[in-house]
């Protein structure tokens, strides 16, 4: 029996083989067909399949490719795994599970290589409603990609060709006689779960391998029967006749993302997605894949043959993800929420001012967020933050990107700063970040599907100032916390970044407190500071762009404004100059 809980199993006979097919969900609903890669079986899809059926309500079909899992192998093996015969298998399954409606096709690795054939040949036209591809190019497209670089070489193109050639080392080995079969039936087959555990950062037992040695030996013929012939003689008419969603893991050890540079030529109805993950994303990122497949299929079923997507620069990276931003009621926080919304992320806008948070969420939806919610909380209140984390996880899901932005300003000499002043600053600027990292970061780590934490520090974190001892100390602590947490979470695929702005035109300047002066003098200094920052006029939208870029690039430390870059340079190479500047008496 299949290990997929609640699955119905059937056998489909075609072309001299018997295919093992599993189904989940209501057959009256749209059908999603999942095709596995090498050396996997259909079980590699179990996490995604269950989610698509139970959470999204689809009729989900997955099958063992001929010669894999519980499907039988052709005899003889040579010539039994051609793309034409794999297409015969696919059509036989579709006729059995969805005879009256086209299906939505999803492929990973060699499942995607096959599926590109399915979606570009004439005889499947009308049987495929959409195709989601991950970690597997069309061999025809790959052949044309190689030819373009051989016939019209440039340094960049030659570098791409050599880079992919190095990544494809295993393809050459799989073409050798007998050696792959011996390796899989020997030490490689025994060690494969542990190898995957080290490569993919998920438990090795997440990859069921009861027939691994046999499956892998059979699967070598996928390469031998197809790769060489197609790369040498790629089809000129390999155009997709259905909308395509391309999901590219940026850490794929086997395929360069440059392989897909000219894909719009072959798939004019193309939606691109990227995510920071390695090759086996059906196991390492099932939640994100489920979200993107659900969104894509729903759009196509809704009558939009060319799925729309946000036009933001990072739409392929953050579309459908859940971003939570604290201090989102104004300034950098609001601009960041809007930037994620424009990139197609779902947004949770958190602020202690309920009306400001509500307004940010409302505008985020207008800017392109599929969904946006407002939550009211004081980040310094540990119990309130714990309740928020529980609510967000239960109602919206585990956060993919956390931006700890909430902060307050405080100016005044060390001896004019009271203990209460210190507590207020540290409670918000440091403890608020600690609470966010511990609670939402802990949920990311427990989920085991990666994520990213951004802590908004400041140029004051590495630039000493006699006027900002409490504020600078709080931000320096945030910077060090970020570095420590980045080291701890690196092995779990969770990035952590510190973003350090300088003078940014936000309302923190008009609300910052000044110690050691009376109320009238404090108001005067607030107005003066707000006026100076307004004259500087560095917009929070630029900081928001830097935040998204830091997440996309997994940047450890990101100074933003010119003065922040300058101070960071001096802190590393001219610390004495920076200390001398700190001794200058500030104008008040």
Per-residue pLDDT averaged across 20-41, rounded? 96
**How many angstroms separate the Cα of 6 from the Cα of each of 24, 51, 56?**
7, 12, 16
Q: Kindly state whether residue 51 falls inside one of the protein's structural domains.
A: yes
Specify the pLDDT at position 2. 44
313: in domain: no
Is 526 contained in some domain?
A: no
**Together in a domain, 21 and 164:** yes
pLDDT interval class at 527 (50, 70, 90):
confident
pLDDT in tens, 491-518: 899 999 999 999 887 766 666 677 767 6
Residues 259 and 343 in one domain: no
Indicate if the pLDDT at residue 3 is higher than 70: no
Q: Report if pTM > 0.75.
A: yes
d(CA 514, CA 416): 9
Residues 223 and 101 in one domain: yes
Domain count of the fold of the chain: 2
Determine, yes or no, domain membership for 62.
yes
**Residue 548 located in a structural domain:** yes
Domain of 26, CATH number, reads 3.40.50.1820
| Same domain, residue pair 241 and 340 | no
Q: Is residue 219 domain-shared with residue 352, that is, in the same domain?
A: no
Instruction: Please name the residues in contact with 255: beta carbons below 8 A apart, sequence gap of 6 or more.
Output: 135, 136, 137, 164, 167, 279
Domain with 168 in it: 8-301
Task: Determine the pLDDT at residue 259.
Answer: 94
pLDDT at residue 72, as a whole number: 96
Do 432 and 559 belong to one domain?
A: yes
DSSP reduced 3-state for 279: coil
Residue in 207, 471, 533, 538 annotated catalytic: 471
Q: Both 290 and 327 in a single domain?
A: no
> Domain check: are 460 and 353 in the same one?
yes
Residue 100 is assigned to a structural domain of this protein: yes
Q: What is the CATH number of the domain that holds 373?
A: 3.40.50.720
Which of 126-130, 219-223, 532-536 has the weakest average pLDDT? 532-536
Residues 365, 459 within the same domain:
yes
CB 96 within 8 A of CB 26: no
Q: Are residues 469 and 568 in the same domain?
A: yes
Same domain membership, residue 123 and residue 17 = yes
- Give residue-wise pLDDT tens across range 48-107: 999 999 999 999 999 999 999 999 999 999 999 999 999 999 999 999 999 999 999 999
- Same domain? For 281 and 341 the reply is no
Cβ 319 vs Cβ 273: under 8 Å:
yes
Say whether 239 is catalytic.
no
- The tokens of 431 are what? 């403890």
pLDDT at position 4, please? Answer: 78
Q: Is 33 exposed, middle or buried (0-12, 13-18, 19+ CB in 10 A)?
A: buried
The pLDDT of residue 588 is above 60: no
Query: Where does the pLDDT of residue 1 fall: very low under 50, low under 70, confident under 90, or very high at 90 and above?
Result: very low
Per-residue pLDDT of 399-431, as tens digits, reads: 999 999 999 989 889 999 999 999 999 999 999
- Is the pLDDT confidence value at 208 over 70? no
d(CA 540, CA 546): 10
* pLDDT tens column, 282-330: 999 999 999 999 999 999 998 765 544 555 779 889 988 999 999 999 9
In terms of residues, how long is the chain? 588
Beta bridge partners of 404: 455
Q: How many beta carbons lie within 10 A of that of residue 501, not counting itself?
A: 24
């Amino acid at each position: 029996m299949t290990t997929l809980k609640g699955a119905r199993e059937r056998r489909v006979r075609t072309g001299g083989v018997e295919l093992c097919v599993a189904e989940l969900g209501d057959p009256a609903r749209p059908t999603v067909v999942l095709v596995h890669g090498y050396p996997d079986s259909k079980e590699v899809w179990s996490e995604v399949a269950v989610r698509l059926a139970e959470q999204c309500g689809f009729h989900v079909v997955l099958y063992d490719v001929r010669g894999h899992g519980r499907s039988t192998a052709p005899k003889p093996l040579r010539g039994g795994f051609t793309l034409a015969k794999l297409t015969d298998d696919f059509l036989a399954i579709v006729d059995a599970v969805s005879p009256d409606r086209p299906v939505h096709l999803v492929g990973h690795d060699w499942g995607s290589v096959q599926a590109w054939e399915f979606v570009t040949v004439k005889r499947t036209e009308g049987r495929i409603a959409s195709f989601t591809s991950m970690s597997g190019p069309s061999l025809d497209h790959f052949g044309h990609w190689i030819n373009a670089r051989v016939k019209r070489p440039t340094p960049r193109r030659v570098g791409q060709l050599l880079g992919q050639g190095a990544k494809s080392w295993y393809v050459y080995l799989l073409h050798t006689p007998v050696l792959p079969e011996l390796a899989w039936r020997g030490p490689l087959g025994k060690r494969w779960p542990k190898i995957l555990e080290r490569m993919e950062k998920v438990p090795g037992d997440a990859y069921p391998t009861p027939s691994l040695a046999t499956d892998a030996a059979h699967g070598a013929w996928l390469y031998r029967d197809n790769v060489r012939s197609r790369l040498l003689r790629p089809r000129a008419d390999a155009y997709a006749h259905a909308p395509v969603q391309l999901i590219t893991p940026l850490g794929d050890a086997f395929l360069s993302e440059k392989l897909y540079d000219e894909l719009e030529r072959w798939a004019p109805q193309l939606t691109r997605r990227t995510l920071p993950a390695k090759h086996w994303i059906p196991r390492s990122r099932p939640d994100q894949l489920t979200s993107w497949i659900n969104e894509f299929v729903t759009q196509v079923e809704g009558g939009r043959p060319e799925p729309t997507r946000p036009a933001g620069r990072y739409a392929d990276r953050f579309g459908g993800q859940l971003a939570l931003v604290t201090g989102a009621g104004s300034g950098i926080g609001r601009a960041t929420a809007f930037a994620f919304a424009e990139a197609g992320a779902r947004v949770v806008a958190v602020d202690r001012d309920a009306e400001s948070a509500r307004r940010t969420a409302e505008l985020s939806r207008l800017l392109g967020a599929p969904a946006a919610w407002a939550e009211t909380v004081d980040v310094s209140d540990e119990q309130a933050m714990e309740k928020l984390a529980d609510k967000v996880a239960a109602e919206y899901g585990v956060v993919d990107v956390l931006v700890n932005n909430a902060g307050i300003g405080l100016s005044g000499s060390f001896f004019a700063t009271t203990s209460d002043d210190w507590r207020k600053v540290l409670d918000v600027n440091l403890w608020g970040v600690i609470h966010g990292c511990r609670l939402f970061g802990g949920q990311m780590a427990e989920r085991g599907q990666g994520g990213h934490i951004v802590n908004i520090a400041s140029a004051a974190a590495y630039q000493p100032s006699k006027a900002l001892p409490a504020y600078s100390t709080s931000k320096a602590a945030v910077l060090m916390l970020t570095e420590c947490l980045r080291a701890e979470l690196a092995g779990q695929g969770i990035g952590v970044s510190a973003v350090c702005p300088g003078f940014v035109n936000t309302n923190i300047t008009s609300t910052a407190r000044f110690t050691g002066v009376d109320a009238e003098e404090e108001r005067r200094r607030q107005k003066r500071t707000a006026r100076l920052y307004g004259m500087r006029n560095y917009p929070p939208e630029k900081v928001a762009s830097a935040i998204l870029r830091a997440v996309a690039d997994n940047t450890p430390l990101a100074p933003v404004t010119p003065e922040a870059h300058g101070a960071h340079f001096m802190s590393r190479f001219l610390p004495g100059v920076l200390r001398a500047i700190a001794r200058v008496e500030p104008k008040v």
